[in-house]
Structure 1
Amino acid sequence: MDNARRKTIVSAMDHDVIIAGGGLNGCTLALALASGGLDVALIDPVPVDTRGGAEFDGRSYALSAASRALLGALGLWPGLADGAQPILDIRISDGTAGTGPSPLTLEFDHAQIEEGPMGFMVEDRHLRPALLDAIDKDARITAITGVSVTGQAPHASGVTATLSDGREIDGRLLVGCDGRRSATAQRAGIRRTGWEYPQNALVAAIGHERPHDGVAHQFFMPEGPLAILPLKGNRCSIVWTERRERARALTDLPDDAYLDVLRPRFGNFLGEISLAGRRFTYPLALSIANSFAAPRVALVGDAAHAVHPIAGQGLNAGLKDVGSLAEVVVDAHRRGEDIGRIDVLRRYEQWRRFDVSALALATDGFNRLFSNDNPILRAVRDAGLGLVGHLPGLRRGAIREAAGLTGDRPRLLQGRPI
C-alpha cells in the first residue's frame, strides 16, 4: 500500500488501535504502541478511580528480568525500582505440610547469570498507578473508562467498535485484553481449548519476623504448590494452591483460623507470621485460544492464554505478548502496511504460539507431577531436583529461562525502544 492511500485510511479512523480491557496488559500495550507512534484508544470498563487506588490489598506480581527490561524501555522502571524487591535466589523443594521439605532441594542463585536479579516482586499498588499515570500523560492514548466494548464489526479498511454507552469508534485494529472469557475473542469466533484444575489459588500478603534475604520459595505438596515470594521489608506474597473444596472452606475461615492452617505449610523459617493485606481466591484452569488473531483482531494476555501459576509466569507471558504484538504492528506501520490485515497479525501469532504452548505444557506437567503423594512419582521428582542441582549448565539454563532471557525476545524485552 502506498503512503498516500495509507494516510487516507488513517484519516478516516478515530484511532490506529482500539484496546478492549484496561488491566495491566492492556495498559502496557497502549504505552508500547504509543511509543511507536500509533494513536490508541484504551477502553476500560472499570472506572479509573477504582482501578488506580493506591491502598495495599495484598496483590503482587513476580516480574522476570525481561519484563523489568520492558518497563525500563517504556520509561516506567525508575518510578518502580525503589518499591521493587529483587528476587536473588529461588529454592524449590518437595514435602508435606508439617514435615518440612525433602533434603533434595534445588536452588537457583542470581549470581549464576550476568544480567543481575532473576526478577522482581512489584506490588499492584505501585505498578497499576504507574501505568495509569503514564497513560494520562501520553497524548497518543485516549482512555475511555467506565464503559466496555459490546460489539465489533470488521470491514475492509478497519473495525468499528460499539461501546456500552452507545458510542461507536473506528480503528484499524482491535486488541482483546479482556481476560480468559474474552468477549472480543467470542465475537471474532475464536474458541478456546483447555480444562479446569480441581484446585484454587489462595493469594495473600504475609508479614513475618525474620528477613527473607530476597529468597523466593516454591514448596511442592500433594494438594498443590505453595509459593512464598519476597516483598520489600519483612513481608512476602503467597500463592497457595489447594484442592477446590478445601480452598473454599479455607476462604470462609476467619483470619486467625486461616493462619493456623497455613503455618504448618509455611514453616517457621521466617518466624511468626501474620496477614498483611486482603485475602484472594482464584479458580485455576489451563485455557488457550485456538487462534491469537482474526481479521482486524488480536488477543493478548489471558484473552489468548491462561496457565497454572506454578511457575509464576502468567503476567510475564502477557508482557511477552505485548512486546511481540507492539513490535509487529509498529514495524508494519512504519513500512506502510495495513496493521489490521490478517497476514500482519499472523506474524504475531506465529511468534507467540510455540512459546505459549510450551509454557502451558510445562506448567500442566509440573502440576500433575508434583500435586500428588504417589511414592514412585515422589522419588522421580526428588531425583530430578537433585540431578538439576548437580548440573551447572542445566541449572544456569533454567535460571535464564525463568528470567525470560532465552528465545527470540522482542526489542522491548531486551530493554530497547520499539
Structure 2
Amino acid sequence: MTAAKISKNGASQPLKVDILVIGGGLAGGTLSLALAQNGFRVATVDIEDTQGWTDRGFDGRASAIALSSQRVLDGVGLWAEIKDETAPIKDIRVADGNSPLFLHYDHTELGNEPFGYMVENRSIRKGLNTLVPKTKNLSYFAPNTVQVLDRAKNGVFATLNDGREIRADLVVACDGRRSPTREGAGIKLTSWDYKQAGIVCTVEHERPHDFCAQEHFLPSGPFAILPLPGTAEKPACRSSIVWTERADLWPIMMKLNDEDFLEELELRFGDFLGAIEVVGPRFAYPLSLQYAETYIAERLALVADSAHGMHPIAGQGLNMGLRDVAALAEVLVEARRLGQDIGAMNVLEKYQQWRRFDNDLMLGVTDVLVKLFSNDIEPLKLARDLGMATVNQFPDLKRFFMRHAMGTVGDLPRLMRGETL
C-alpha cells in the first residue's frame, strides 16, 4: 500500500498491518522506511501536517549526523534525497571560554571520511515527504492521532481520530518526549530540568568555516557554531548556532530586537569568521534530561525521544535515536526470519538489552558534561582545561574519542555498519 492521507470516510474494514508506528518524524519516519523496505506492512500516524513541517518557521534546528547515522539514512534511501543540503564535519574544536587550551579533532587522523554531517531538520523532513509516498507496504496517516490504543496478547487495536481502525502485531512509539503512547502504557519517566534553553538560529558570516564544528563552554552553558552548506557564491559561510542560556536570561534574549540580539550574539561568537548576520527566525527549546523506566511493554517498543532525551551538549540526541531505529529494525527482521512473533516480549527484550546500556551511558556522560562545564568555578575550569589539553597529547586516547564522535564504537547494528538487513 502506498502512503496517503486518510479520508474522513475511510474504509469500514480495519487496516491490517504488521507494525503500527506512532510518530513519523526524523526517527519514526526513518524506522517506517526501514521496516517497509524489508517487507513489513507498516502504518505510520503523525500529528503534524507533513506539508507544513518543512516550513522554516516550524523547526529551526539542525542535527549533527554521525558517520554511522549517515549510513542508516543512506540504507533507507534518505541520504540520496538530502545529501546536497548537508555539510561535512571535517574538524571539531572544543574550547573552554577564552582559554588558550582547547581540544581539536582532525578527521584526517582517522582516514578520509568526515566525523559526520550537519543537516537542517527540515531537509530530512523534505526527504521523508519525497520518499514515503514511493514506498510499498507503507501507509502514512497525517495529520492524525491515535485516539484509542488497546494492546492485548493477540495483537494491537488502534482507532484513529477520523475513525479509521488499524490492527497490528506491534506498536512502536516514536511520538516524542511527551509521548502519549508511553504515558498511556503507564511507563514511568525519570526527568530533570537543566534550567536552561537552547537558543537556535542560523547565521551567515564573511569568512568560510572550513567545515569545522566549534563548541565554546561559557558559564551559562555550551555555545556551538555548527557548519552548514552555504550558497553557490559562498559555499561555506553559513552556520547553525545553538546558544545555551540560563532559564532567567533566555526569555530576555528572545525578546530583544534584531540589533540588540545580534550584539549579544557577537559577544559570544567572536570575530574569527568576520562579520555575522542572523538569517531567518530564532527559536528557543527548554533543555532537560529524561529516560523511561523500560523501553518495552506488551506489544510495545519505545524508540528515540519517547525512550530517552538528553542535553544537546554532545550533539548525540538524534544519533542515539537512529541507533534505536537500526537496532529495532534488525531485531524485528531477524525475528521474522526465525518465524517468531515480532510483538512477543522475548523479541522485544533483545531490543531493550541492546540499547539500554548504550543510551544510559550517553545520558550519564552528557549530564556530567553539563554540570561540569555550565559554570565558571575556577578550580573546575582549570581541571577541565588541563583535561582537554591532555587528550590532545595522547594520540590513542584522542582517536578513541574521535571514533566515538563518528559513532563507530560499540555493538553497531548492521545498518550503521553500512550493511543490509
Which range, TM-score by smaller chain?
Answer: over 0.9
Distance 1:149 1:283 in 2: 27
Question: How far apart, CA to CA, are the structure 1 residues paired with 2:310 and 2:112?
Answer: 27
Cα deviation, residue 112, structure 1: 1.4
**Partners in 2 of 1:416 and 1:251 — Cα distance?**
44
Contact persistence 1:38–1:140 (CA under 8 A): yes
> How much does 1:75 deviate?
2.1
1:343 paired with 2:346, answer: yes
Residue 147 (structure 1) shift: 1.0
1:371 aligns with 2:389: no
How far has the Cα of 1:13 moved from its partner?
A: 6.8
| 1:36-88 deviation per Cα after TM superposition (whole angstroms, max 9, x unaligned) | 21010010111222124478964321100001111111122233222210000
Within 2, Cα distance between the matches of 1:349 and 1:57?
Answer: 30
1:161 aligns with 2:163: no
- AA matched with 1:121: M
Cα displacement string for residues 132-186 of structure 1 (whole angstroms, at most 9, x for unaligned residues):
2111101210001111112211112211112122332110011111111111111
Distance 1:203 1:120 in 2: 18
C-alpha deviations, 1:280-322, integer Å up to 9, x for none? 1001000001101101110111100000100000111110010
Work out whether residues 303 and 325 of structure 2, in 8 Å CA contact, stay in contact via their aligned partners in 1: yes
Paired residue for 2:35, among 26, 33, 36? 33
Supply the distance in 1 between the matched residues of 2:50 and 2:372 (Cα, whole angstroms): 42
2:370 and 2:138 map into 1 onto residues whose CA distance is: 40
Aligned position for 2:178: 181
Choose the corresponding residue for 2:81, options 62, 69, 79: 79
SS in 1 for 2:249: helix
1:134-283 superposed matches below 5 A = 134-233=131-230, 234-283=237-286
SS of residue in 1 equivalent to 2:402: helix
Measure, in 2, the Cα distance between the counterparts of 1:211 and 1:55: 26
| 1:14 aligned to which of 13, 16, 20 | 16
Larger mean CA deviation between 149-158 and 348-357 belongs to 149-158
Find the counterpart in structure 2 of residue 299 from structure 1: 302
1:382 aligns with 385
After superposition, the C-alpha distances for 1:239-296 in whole angstroms (9 at most, x for unaligned) are: 1101011011111112221111111110000111111221110010000011011011
Which residue among 316, 328, 333 is the counterpart of 1:330?
333
Give the SS at the match of 2:215. Answer: strand
5+ long unaligned stretches in structure 1: 1-11, 96-100
- Deviation of 1:362 (Å): 0.4
Letter in 1 for 2:65: L
- Of residues 37, 59, 64 in structure 1, which corresponds to 2:66? 64
Kindly indicate whether residue 21 of structure 2 is the aligned counterpart of residue 50 of structure 1: no
Task: Please give the alpha-carbon distance, in whole angstroms, between the structure 2 residues aligned to 1:203 and 1:251.
Answer: 10
Change (3 A) 1:57 1:17: closer
| CA shift in 2, pair 1:13/1:79, >3 Å | closer
Structure 2, gaps ≥5 residues long: 1-13, 231-236
Q: State how 1:61-140 maps to structure 2 within 5 Å.
A: 61-95=63-97, 101-114=98-111, 116-140=113-137
Question: What is the CA–CA distance in structure 2 between the aligned matches of 1:127 and 1:417, rounded to whole Å?
Answer: 21
Matched residues in 2 for 1:306 and 1:338: separation? 29
Asked if the contact 1:293/1:346 (under 8 Å) is kept, the reply is: yes
Question: What TM-score does the superposition give when structure 1 sets the normalisation length?
Answer: 0.94
CA contact (8 A) 2:37 2:135 kept: no
Change (3 A) 1:325 1:140: same
Q: Is the CA contact 1:388–1:395 (under 8 Å) kept in the aligned structure 2?
A: yes
For residues 282 and 54 of structure 1, the distance between their equivalents in structure 2, rounded to whole angstroms, comes to 16
- 8 A Cα contact 1:90 1:217, kept in partner: yes
| CA distance 1:201–1:56, change in 2 (3 Å) | closer
- The secondary structure found in structure 2 opposite 1:337 is coil
CA 55–265 in structure 1, closer or farther in 2 if over 3 Å, else same: closer
Q: For 1:150, give the aligned amino acid.
A: Q
* Cα distance in 1 between the residues matched to 2:216 and 2:103: 11
Offset of 1:115 from its aligned partner?
Answer: 5.8
1:415 aligned partner:
418
TM-score, normalised relative to structure 2: 0.93
Partners of 2:144 and 2:160 within 8 A in 1: yes
Contact 1:55 1:125 in 2 (8 A): no
Give the 3-state SS of the residue equivalent to 1:399 in structure 2: helix
- RMSD of equivalent CA atoms: 1.6
